[in-house]
Amino acid sequence: MKNFAAIDFETATIVIEMMKREARPLKARELAELCCMERKVVDSAIRHLREDGAVTSPKRGYWMPVDS
């Protein structure tokens, strides 16, 4: 994870760790509920994680971490 100037690094870490814990593709709405965050905060974290190549979308609207 490289470029997190626009969002809190901790927020992105929480989002990706929740994705790993759930071990299935999740919608942003589900992630927001699981992480107890606002949807727009999760959307921003996903956008930055996607730009850095940390998450992928197996189908439209669902997100999961990229296996390293």
This prediction has a pTM of 0.83
pLDDT of residue 41: 94
* 9 has pLDDT over 80: yes
Taking 60 as the threshold, does the pLDDT of residue 4 lie above it? no
Q: What is the pLDDT of residues 14-29, one digit of tens each?
A: 999 999 999 999 999 9
- Which phi and psi (to 5°) does residue 23 adopt? 55, 40
Which of the four pLDDT bands, split at 50, 70 and 90, describes residue 6?
A: low
Average pLDDT, the chain: 89
Give the Cα separation of 30 and 60 in Å (integer): 14
